[in-house]
Chain A
């Protein structure tokens, strides 16, 4: 997420500085005496962690960074050599391989071992095994925050109470123990207020894609936008300032009627508006993006950019109810939603963002996303009357990205949309 050559606006430089600064801070943590807490993006408790002046480590971000820097292949091979199955999640294997290789972060500095593994495993059972594996290997203590799944499509009062109780009685004591600091609920409130402000601006950014042409790409560009808020900058002033800047830039683009900035330059003609479900592939991120820009396809909304919070459906961190709001946040992330809820969301995106179609990128690593996607495809088609496209790749396994194959499908799909469009136009003429 730190590529400068992709987005050249001020916000992009700011984003790069933020993320770069974060990794430096993390690398220096042993020197500065900061404790580090590993946690996962979906349902991360950044505000809470930073209340203890600790720095979060996000292994998924490390893995995707390794993927973008073309290092993941070797890391994965190393983990498989150590006995990890070829069938399992490549984020995990990439992380394990990265540890073996000295845990060098994207800025070239070695990252510290975490002092605590905070297992807030929203929406993915692999997370649980992942931290168990790290704990076995490095002896770092772990603490579990069990976040119940919205199996029946909603959060019940019992679920909320359970998460709050765990925060109070398990997570906060563990953080106090690790950092030697007392918990300060007012500090948490302050941070949550910054979160809420950033979230307001981020939602405006997402919704800008309702314009024609869309000033943003809500998937490929979107993963840059979520960088700060999904990592260490939720609940910070600098994070909130970044989103204010981003929003103003995008509002400017709308006024000027400009399309999204892409690695190939500004998109001149918006031919197709798509909704995308599923995470991107990181090892061929730019190639993948180019397959869309080449055809004039812009992604107007995506679900992957909601794994760290579905702010666009109304959720905001609420300083008035600090622990309750964290519980709601954890349970409300995209991957913690039932399949019918996911079908509902994708269908609404298609309508609200006037999309021509939708595409599912099904990644091998992530059963949480992938199991059931073929049914999502069918149900969304039924619901919206629009045909979807289905492609397969992986998060960070370069062996599992068949460019020719994927390009073929994307092209075929878009040509089909084009043909349908002209046949409808022909019939109307």
Chain B
């Protein structure tokens, strides 16, 4: 299936992989021999950790190919803009590939015995829905397009719903029946390996992008593509971490605790890091590291999950808001309501009571964000305080209201600290794992070399 022009020699490139199996998402990082990040991949993990791990890893390898493409293009004086355009076009190709699969499974589903009665009405409507979805698809990958999420399930789901609403008929083929077809098919899509690789999908993507390009551009892109596709990755070692790490089919010495990985990952992102706070969906970690990124002490939230990201999820549900809307709304608060309980069990009750007392939503939210950070503050204190520099990672680090509260409380309790937040903070654990895999492989090579 290679689009490799004949006569081009393949070059091999060593890679080191880190995989972080989280409770809500799984992440992969690929490093090259120099320890530079080649690629990042992320997927929403479902119950199947093995699948999640393989999806994240292949995503990261696709991303790595684009890195190579970008490097090659830059060498040939091409602009970053065309690399970006090509990547969007490529994503569209991937989307089409998955969409074809979705359509296939939906059709298989409707052929099943459950749908005998509605089949005749459903089939043409499904055709109509998928035609609409194909037509709509390019818009999701336009420059600057705003997507709810990057996951196929979410993009296609929204698009399917919109078209199904139009196509449905309350009597002949109703909306919920159509949706149930989708729900079944999407599960199969997520568990079916599909060729989303760079080499397989770059051809059509390239054609689309280069349709109006100059000869020079065309030549640069063609050469860069050739370089990327001709490069074969030689994965030297992979290290797994995260909540689901025990389920990885890795030998024990290829598995590292997320504490160590977070510590090292944060150090790699900001090398002066001494304290790391990670607030994820299920747990909160406070980690102290030395100048080499080696963990010197850590604390995790106790058995009570109060104050984790999940708590914000409950609150968002309770307020009928999207998770990402909480922070901005909280930032509009004029005062901060004191919230005493960060107990997930009581969160809803306390919220309703505050609302019934006439408190404003944003003021309550501001209080809720503060209360989560207060829990984190106590973990930080247990682990040894907040040293300079201080790096904040995990999903909650993307929440501006939480960051504001953290900044204020750290200043109040520990004085001025430089607070680092990376836009790629979600990859901190995976990066640490990748660095461990590179380090381990090199140590091993050294010993083997010495033995020889």
Touch test A–B (CB under 8 Å): yes
Query: Could you say which residues of chain A place their CB within 8 Å of the CB of B67?
Result: none
A387 x B300 contact (CB < 8 A) = no
Q: Is the interface of B mostly helix, strand, loop or mixed?
A: mixed
Query: Could you say which residues of chain B place their CB within 8 Å of the CB of A392?
Result: 302-303
Query: Could you say which residues of chain B place their CB within 8 Å of the CB of A400?
Result: 303
Q: A416: shortest Cβ distance to chain B, in Å?
A: 5
Query: Could you say which residues of chain B place their CB within 8 Å of the CB of A390?
Result: 299, 382
B303 x A405 contact (CB < 8 A) = yes
Tell me whether B295 is interfacial, beta carbon within 8 Å: yes
B260 x A412 contact (CB < 8 A) = yes
For the complex, give the distance between the alpha carbons of A381 and B385 in Å: 14
Query: Could you say which residues of chain B place their CB within 8 Å of the CB of A374?
Result: 382
Tell me whether A383 is interfacial, beta carbon within 8 Å: no
Query: Could you say which residues of chain B place their CB within 8 Å of the CB of A69?
Result: none
Tell me whether B296 is interfacial, beta carbon within 8 Å: yes
Q: B361: shortest Cβ distance to chain A, in Å?
A: 33
List A residues 302-352 near B (Cβ within 8 Å). Answer: none
Contacts A419-B295, A420-B294, A420-B296 given: A412-B303 contact, CB under 8 Å? no
Query: Could you say which residues of chain A place their CB within 8 Å of the CB of B300?
Result: 408-409
A415 x B302 contact (CB < 8 A) = no
List B residues 240-278 near A (Cβ within 8 Å). Answer: 243, 246, 256-260
B382 x A408 contact (CB < 8 A) = no
Q: B359: shortest Cβ distance to chain A, in Å?
A: 30
List A residues 392-412 near B (Cβ within 8 Å). Answer: 392, 400, 402, 404-405, 407-409, 411-412
Contact residue among B246, B257, B296, B382 (Cβ-Cβ distance under 8 Å from A415):
B257
Query: Could you say which residues of chain A place their CB within 8 Å of the CB of B259?
Result: 412, 415-416
Contact residue among B257, B294, B302 (Cβ-Cβ distance under 8 Å from A408):
B257
List A residues 344-378 near B (Cβ within 8 Å). Answer: 374, 377-378
Q: B265: shortest Cβ distance to chain A, in Å?
A: 14
Tell me whether A82 is interfacial, beta carbon within 8 Å: no
Residue of B nearest to A387 (CB): B297
Q: A324: shortest Cβ distance to chain B, in Å?
A: 42
For the complex, give the distance between the alpha carbons of A402 and B259 in Å: 18
Query: Could you say which residues of chain B place their CB within 8 Å of the CB of A248?
Result: none
A416 x B303 contact (CB < 8 A) = no
By the criterion of a CB under 8 Å from any partner CB, how many residues of chain A are at the interface? 21
Contacts A374-B382, A387-B296, A412-B298 given: A419-B303 contact, CB under 8 Å? no
Tell me whether A140 is interfacial, beta carbon within 8 Å: no
Query: Could you say which residues of chain B place their CB within 8 Å of the CB of A404?
Result: 246
Interface size class of B (residues with CB under 8 A): 10 to 19
Contact residue among A402, A409, A415 (Cβ-Cβ distance under 8 Å from B260):
A415
Tell me whether B292 is interfacial, beta carbon within 8 Å: yes
Query: Could you say which residues of chain A place their CB within 8 Å of the CB of B297?
Result: 381, 387, 416
Q: A292: shortest Cβ distance to chain B, in Å?
A: 15
Q: Which of A405, A420, A423 has the most CB of B within 10 A?
A: A405
Q: A358: shortest Cβ distance to chain B, in Å?
A: 12
Residue of B nearest to A362 (CB): B302
For the complex, give the distance between the alpha carbons of A392 and B305 in Å: 13
Q: B333: shortest Cβ distance to chain A, in Å?
A: 32
Query: Could you say which residues of chain A place their CB within 8 Å of the CB of B302?
Result: 392
For the complex, give the distance between the alpha carbons of A423 and B260 in Å: 13
B294 x A419 contact (CB < 8 A) = yes
Interface string of A280-319 (1 = CB under 8 A from B): 0000000000000000000000000000000000000000
Residue of B nearest to A295 (CB): B252
Interface string of B227-250 (1 = CB under 8 A from A): 000000000000000010010000
Interface string of B119-131 (1 = CB under 8 A from A): 0000000000000
B299 x A412 contact (CB < 8 A) = no
For the complex, give the distance between the alpha carbons of A32 and B303 in Å: 48
Q: B437: shortest Cβ distance to chain A, in Å?
A: 15
Q: B438: shortest Cβ distance to chain A, in Å?
A: 15
Contacts A390-B299, A405-B303, A409-B300 given: A416-B260 contact, CB under 8 Å? yes
Q: B282: shortest Cβ distance to chain A, in Å?
A: 10
A419 x B260 contact (CB < 8 A) = yes
A423 x B303 contact (CB < 8 A) = no
Q: A388: shortest Cβ distance to chain B, in Å?
A: 8
Query: Could you say which residues of chain B place their CB within 8 Å of the CB of A409?
Result: 300
B257 x A423 contact (CB < 8 A) = no
For the complex, give the distance between the alpha carbons of A415 and B296 in Å: 11
Q: A410: shortest Cβ distance to chain B, in Å?
A: 10
Query: Could you say which residues of chain B place their CB within 8 Å of the CB of A408?
Result: 243, 257, 300
For the complex, give the distance between the alpha carbons of A404 and B244 in Å: 10
For the complex, give the distance between the alpha carbons of A73 and B298 in Å: 32
Query: Could you say which residues of chain B place their CB within 8 Å of the CB of A377?
Result: 382
For the complex, give the distance between the alpha carbons of A415 and B432 in Å: 14
Q: B445: shortest Cβ distance to chain A, in Å?
A: 16
A412 x B294 contact (CB < 8 A) = no
Query: Could you say which residues of chain A place their CB within 8 Å of the CB of B243?
Result: 408
Query: Could you say which residues of chain B place their CB within 8 Å of the CB of A407?
Result: 246
For the complex, give the distance between the alpha carbons of A402 and B300 in Å: 14
A411 x B257 contact (CB < 8 A) = yes
Query: Could you say which residues of chain B place their CB within 8 Å of the CB of A420?
Result: 294-296
Query: Could you say which residues of chain A place their CB within 8 Å of the CB of B294?
Result: 419-420, 423
10 contacts between A and B (CB under 8 A): A378-B382, A381-B297, A390-B382, A412-B258, A412-B259, A415-B257, A415-B259, A416-B260, A420-B295, A423-B294
Beyond the given pairs A400-B303, A407-B246, A416-B257, 14 more chain A to chain B contacts, judged by CB atoms under 8 angstroms and listed by A's residue number, are A377-B382, A402-B303, A408-B243, A408-B300, A412-B260, A412-B298, A415-B256, A415-B257, A415-B259, A416-B260, A416-B296, A419-B294, A423-B290, A423-B292
